Structure 1
């Protein structure tokens, strides 16, 4: 039964549930109506029987007739009996005979008072009987007044047929209405199903479901539209990432191929390349290999999911900045790098945080002129890296953290265009933020802000948790 029911469409199941509920309600109402009507009709019949005067003249005549005394004929609409204490029964002439019951004898013997009960006459017809105690001098009697029960059963049978017809019509109407309501109510679900099947078949994430109202179906439609929009945006970002990565990889690969072809042709033709040119070619190959390695490392960094809490720990930001400064001084020996670092402890991944700081310093070193200076300051959880380069135009500042975006003036400089994107991602994961702004008197100032404390916490679990960063799609 469960398997058969589970294979039905949802609208059919809803219609069946509605029809079943209505059938139960109608059946209960019909049964209550039938029972109440039966009780009322029976009560009316009993009231009629008990209103008959058992000591009227006709009953006296019946008793006298039962004693063998001649009496003129008399008529009554009821079946009247006289029952003696010994069990003798005398019936009114012309009526069906009702055998004496134990109840009649107990009334005749004085063990019971007035009594109402239902029995059958000799033909099997149901009779409603009312017994009344009586006396004949010193003898106890029971005068029994009876009437057929068809006064009750006939209307009840007619009522049962009417209720059965009404109940059947009600159940059929409820099933039809339930099916119609299910179809109308499930139209948004049908649209959602069609949209899902269309997306699964065509991978077209531009499909949107019309939303009307504020009910659960409307909320589901909005959630589905939001999901498809997010999926479409994620796919667009992935496609853009692949296209940008391919574009960025093409340049160093083309240069590598050209330089290696020159070296291979030189070896195959036996015409050696001058030593200076050969050294320049090898140096170029080495530089392009380094650029490829850096680009692949940046892509791997951006493609990694958000790190879990197991990789996060309390770290000294001033120590990480100090290590990054040592690496930056090696990469830019002609630069003067000054630092003013106050203690600051944050909750972050050490390797990712150091990479972000190194990227900020490398970015400042790349745009600084030869012999220039870079000022680094850490105070109150705010790391400031200021260079004295050409600066960034105001219209380009909103794009500096986009992946693979590079200023037109920096296209000739080495780099993948991913460094600042990695910085922004790391800052978000640590609950902080990063921004670039034009510095006074020229140059650019990068500001990285991270939540933390000036003193290390006594225990790592007591360090306040950073807010959950938004998801960044690769």
Structure 2
């Protein structure tokens, strides 16, 4: 990158835009001015040549000039009207010019015209005084092409007749172009300032957010152009960041609440055990057994909560292990065994058909266990849970209180818990883990109220009733 390029990039954006506009206009104006000058010059040259062709010297004037060249002292007849210069040329190249006039050099073309080997000649030349002339040479006498006379007449006009207007035109074009370029630069600067005003507002908003971390800032959006799209994108970004920050705050609050309960209970139980050892007062065996069972339950709940948090901390785009073909019915059967241990008072009815899917076995089993845990948690004592697997659709139906209609859109959101479920065990993270695992396996999940009360959860995974002959890649 050259120094000029570095200096150009160092300029503010509006200055660069104004400079680019002025440069573009200057190039366009220069091209138009040059084209106009050349077109005008061509037209003036053509007019001058036409005027020379249309004029012939008076025969009496030519004869008088020939006598003067021969030494006869007679008063000449006036030359053609206008600023014409007339001279006579013979076939040998001898020039007979009017008195007090500057002869024009004879060219080979002029001699050929005098010798009748050429019809006429049109060329430019400088006279003896150094003045540029446009010359038209024709045979003399012009009215008798068969004449044996070896003379030609050259009529010339100074090129200054068109040089002066062209010079004036050049100055006018230069002045006009300069004014146009300056006007274009001013207009470009105004357009840049006006067009970049939304960018200035966006820059100010970004700097305000960086300085204050205030994510409630929104930029007014006007129109449908690129700046409006950028403003909408910024507003959407800040809204997403604000939502993410709110969810993080909610996560901390929920995690703190969930951790506080088992930790408090665990601390109380441990203090009872420690006080029993310190005082020497033994705890009755039944009470000690219940106390140890409570400690184990609280440890299990803490481990489950930490596991949920670790699961959600992994990036959505990655998998903990390679996908492989697994028997979904076997995974559901293993999850049912765990669910029956957690709800021994419940009746779990299962009807499973073979179905093979491509998934990560541990994650898929964890997702199904979470669905069954929810059914166990919300089922009334002695209730029934129906589990069916048909053509890749796994349905879990409980007979609990069900999910309110206004809560259904939020059940798969991270860290969200229904107000009615906040007093129950759990972190509110299970269903979001289930949704992510199912989506990674190419499936879908839905929750809806079941007829007659309760909730029905359906997981659909692509697959086949028979395993493939070889392991899928």
Residue segments in structure 2 that go unaligned for 5+ positions in a row = none
> CA RMSD, aligned part only?
2.8
| Change in 2 beyond 3 A, CA 1:140/1:355 | same
Partner of 2:375 in structure 1?
A: 364
| Change in 2 beyond 3 A, CA 1:307/1:318 | farther
- For residues 469 and 229 of structure 2, the distance between their equivalents in structure 1, rounded to whole angstroms, comes to 47
Query: Are residues 1:435 and 2:447 paired?
Result: yes
| Change in 2 beyond 3 A, CA 1:339/1:151 | same
Deviations 1:272-325 (A, max 9, x none): 444444433333222211110011111222232224477434332212111112
Shift of 1:146: 1.4
Partner SS for 1:392? coil
Deviations 1:35-80 (A, max 9, x none): 1211222222222222222452101211122123443333224221
Partner of 2:465 in structure 1?
A: 454
Partner of 1:112 in structure 2?
A: 118
Q: Would you say the 8 A contact 1:397–1:437 is kept in 2?
A: no
Shift of 1:224: 1.9
Deviations 1:453-473 (A, max 9, x none): 4344556669xxxxxxxxxxx
| Change in 2 beyond 3 A, CA 1:408/1:155 | closer
- In the TM superposition, what are the counterparts of 1:74-85 in structure 2 within 5 Å? 74-76=77-79, 77-85=83-91
Partner of 1:42 in structure 2?
A: 45
| Change in 2 beyond 3 A, CA 1:316/1:97 | same
- For residues 46 and 34 of structure 1, the distance between their equivalents in structure 2, rounded to whole angstroms, comes to 18
Partner of 2:65 in structure 1?
A: 62
| Change in 2 beyond 3 A, CA 1:225/1:406 | closer
Select which of 292, 300, 305 maps to 2:310.
Answer: 300
Partner SS for 2:395? strand
Q: Would you say the 8 A contact 1:80–1:143 is kept in 2?
A: yes
- For residues 166 and 307 of structure 1, the distance between their equivalents in structure 2, rounded to whole angstroms, comes to 63
Partner of 1:355 in structure 2?
A: 366
Select which of 347, 351, 368 maps to 1:340.
Answer: 351
Query: Are residues 1:416 and 2:427 paired?
Result: yes
Select which of 16, 23, 26 maps to 2:26.
Answer: 23
Partner SS for 1:306? coil
- For residues 426 and 76 of structure 2, the distance between their equivalents in structure 1, rounded to whole angstroms, comes to 132
- For residues 450 and 346 of structure 1, the distance between their equivalents in structure 2, rounded to whole angstroms, comes to 7
Report the more deviating stretch, 444-453 or 49-58.
444-453
- For residues 152 and 145 of structure 1, the distance between their equivalents in structure 2, rounded to whole angstroms, comes to 17
| Change in 2 beyond 3 A, CA 1:368/1:211 | closer
Select which of 288, 296, 301 maps to 1:286.
Answer: 296
- For residues 80 and 147 of structure 1, the distance between their equivalents in structure 2, rounded to whole angstroms, comes to 9
- In the TM superposition, what are the counterparts of 1:41-440 in structure 2 within 5 Å? 41-54=44-57, 56-76=59-79, 77-134=83-140, 138-308=148-318, 311-368=322-379, 372-388=383-399, 390-392=400-402, 394=404, 398=408, 400-401=411-412, 403=415, 405=417, 408=420, 411=423, 413-429=424-440, 430-440=442-452
Report the more deviating stretch, 360-369 or 172-181.
360-369
Shift of 1:180: 0.8
- For residues 8 and 380 of structure 2, the distance between their equivalents in structure 1, rounded to whole angstroms, comes to 78
Q: Number of residue pairs matched?
A: 459
| Change in 2 beyond 3 A, CA 1:102/1:262 | same
- For residues 398 and 60 of structure 2, the distance between their equivalents in structure 1, rounded to whole angstroms, comes to 133
Partner SS for 1:305? coil
Shift of 1:253: 1.3
Partner SS for 2:264? helix
Residue segments in structure 1 that go unaligned for 5+ positions in a row = 463-474
Partner SS for 1:213? coil
TM-score of the aligned structures, taking structure 2 as reference length: 0.88
Partner SS for 1:143? strand
- For residues 454 and 19 of structure 1, the distance between their equivalents in structure 2, rounded to whole angstroms, comes to 72
Report the more deviating stretch, 231-240 or 242-251.
231-240
- For residues 351 and 434 of structure 1, the distance between their equivalents in structure 2, rounded to whole angstroms, comes to 21
Deviations 1:73-128 (A, max 9, x none): 33224221112223322111132332334443343344433111111122211111
| Change in 2 beyond 3 A, CA 1:111/1:457 | farther
Q: Would you say the 8 A contact 2:443–2:462 is kept in 1?
A: yes
TM-score of the aligned structures, taking structure 1 as reference length: 0.87
Partner SS for 2:150? strand
- For residues 304 and 22 of structure 2, the distance between their equivalents in structure 1, rounded to whole angstroms, comes to 69
- For residues 384 and 178 of structure 2, the distance between their equivalents in structure 1, rounded to whole angstroms, comes to 94
- For residues 92 and 330 of structure 1, the distance between their equivalents in structure 2, rounded to whole angstroms, comes to 134
| Change in 2 beyond 3 A, CA 1:460/1:115 | farther
Q: Would you say the 8 A contact 1:386–1:439 is kept in 2?
A: no
| Change in 2 beyond 3 A, CA 1:25/1:157 | same
